[in-house]
Amino acid sequence: MAEGDRKRTPEVARRTGAGGELSGRTVLIVDDDPSHVAHVREGLAPRGYVFKEAHDGTQALSAIREARPDLILMDVEMPGLGGVEVCRIIKANSGEEGFGFIPVILMTARQAAGKVEGLELGADDYLVKPFDMLELSARVKSMLRLKALQDALVEKNRELDKANKELARRREELLALSRTDALTGLFNRRCFEERLSDEFARSRRYQSPLSLVMLDIDHFKRINDTFGHPFGDQVLKAVAQTTRSRLREVDVLARYGGEEFIALLPETATADALKVCERVREAIAGLRVEHVGVDGKRQEVRLTASLGVATVPSEDLGSAEELLRAADAGLYAAKGAGRNRVQQ
Q: Which of 135, 233, 282, 321 binds ligand GH3 (CB under 6 A)?
A: 233
Q: Which of 258/293 has CB closer to ligand GH3?
A: 258
Nearest distance from C-beta of residue 8 to Mg ion, angstroms: 23
Q: Per CB under 5 A, which of residues 18..57 are in contact with Mg ion?
A: 32
104-108 and 71-75 beta bridge pairing: parallel
- 232 near ligand GH3, rule: CB under 6 A: yes
Q: Which of 7, 15, 221, 275 binds ligand GH3 (CB under 6 A)?
A: 221
Q: Which of 5, 181, 251, 259 binds ligand GH3 (CB under 6 A)?
A: 259
For 217, phi then psi, to 5°, come to: -70, 135
Q: Which of 70, 124, 216, 328 binds Mg ion (CB under 5 A)?
A: 216
Nearest distance from C-beta of residue 314 to ligand GH3, angstroms: 26
Only one of the segments 2-10, 232-240, 294-302, 311-319 lies at the binding site for ligand GH3 (rule: CB under 6 A); that segment is: 232-240
Residue 159, CB-side half-sphere exposure with 13 Å CA sphere? 6
Identify the active-site residue in 159, 259, 290, 322. 259
* Residue in 254, 284, 265, 270 with CA at minimum distance from that of residue 186: 254
- 75 near Mg ion, rule: CB under 5 A: yes
Residue 209, preceding peptide bond in cis (omega within 30° of 0): no
Q: Per CB under 6 A, which of residues 174..213 are in contact with ligand GH3?
A: 183
274/269 Cα distance (integer angstroms):
9
CB distance 56 to 89 below 8 Å: no
Q: Per CB under 6 A, which of residues 123..142 are in contact with ligand GH3?
A: none
- 304 near ligand GH3, rule: CB under 6 A: no
- 229 near ligand GH3, rule: CB under 6 A: yes
Q: Which of 113/183 has CB closer to ligand GH3?
A: 183
Nearest distance from C-beta of residue 257 to ligand GH3, angstroms: 7
C-alpha distances in Å from residue 44, one per residue of 68, 269, 301: 19, 83, 85
163/232 Cα distance (integer angstroms):
42
Nearest distance from C-beta of residue 195 to ligand GH3, angstroms: 22
Q: Which of 99, 131, 192, 220 binds ligand GH3 (CB under 6 A)?
A: 220
- The yes-or-no answer on residue 300 being catalytic is no
C-alpha distances in Å from residue 234, one per residue of 29, 86, 103: 72, 69, 65
Site of interaction with ligand GH3 (CB under 6 A): 183, 216-221, 224, 229, 232-233, 236, 258-259, 335, 339
Instruction: Give the catalytic positions in this structure.
Output: 259
Site of interaction with Mg ion (CB under 5 A): 32, 75, 77-78, 216-217, 220, 259-260
